[in-house]
Homo-oligomer: A and B are copies of this chain.
């Protein structure tokens, strides 16, 4: 398999690192095209598991340094899987909706929190960071392998598909305080852009909520706000 730098318009993406790659081998093997192991990788246990899973699934494994030089400039990465990009339509139920998310690391962190709180369907409204980007996959610690992520043409298109969902846009001037409210199921937690937040038009959609916090900060970091929203919305759920 020939490896080239990740491209947004390319056919493949990559999981960088052993932990992340193991998530794909265990949870989404159908996307794995091949696995590269660095010649210096010394975890025999992990190597054995990779060969075992890949052997059983007829996935080529190659020990070579070159893909690491191309894909992982930082070093500290000894296993890479080449992954097919495949859109998985989201299903009815509780959703996280990311409107114009711009930072790959934040997107990955939010996806990990979503999986942590059992919200496995994530809608994205562009313009948005590319959710196939290896940076997103890595920041998610491989959680990307266990969730469905669908990109919609607009927020209206999302709403039209899930008219039964209770919409909770998170806004700094939301009229409902998260701490004092209960989130009805099925819910859509709607988060805006890191810097700009949600467009003001969202004030007229569903029940706009804000997280009560001190006036000493302008806002919470978006990944923290999303984490707290997920925690509160699923408070009774995972018992």
Contacts and interface: CB of A to CB of B under 8 A. Distances in A.
A112 interface: yes
Contact of A116 (B113, B117, B213, B238): B213
Nearest to A177: B239
A141 interface: yes
Category for how many chain A residues contact B? 20 to 34
29 contacts: A109-B223, A109-B224, A112-B217, A112-B221, A113-B221, A113-B224, A115-B214, A115-B216, A116-B214, A116-B216, A116-B217, A117-B213, A118-B214, A141-B217, A141-B218, A143-B216, A143-B217, A146-B216, A179-B231, A179-B235, A179-B239, A211-B231, A213-B238, A220-B227, A224-B227, A227-B228, A228-B231, A231-B231, A231-B232
Interface of A: 109, 112-113, 115-118, 141, 143, 146, 179, 211-214, 216-218, 220-221, 223-224, 227-228, 231-232, 235-236, 238-239
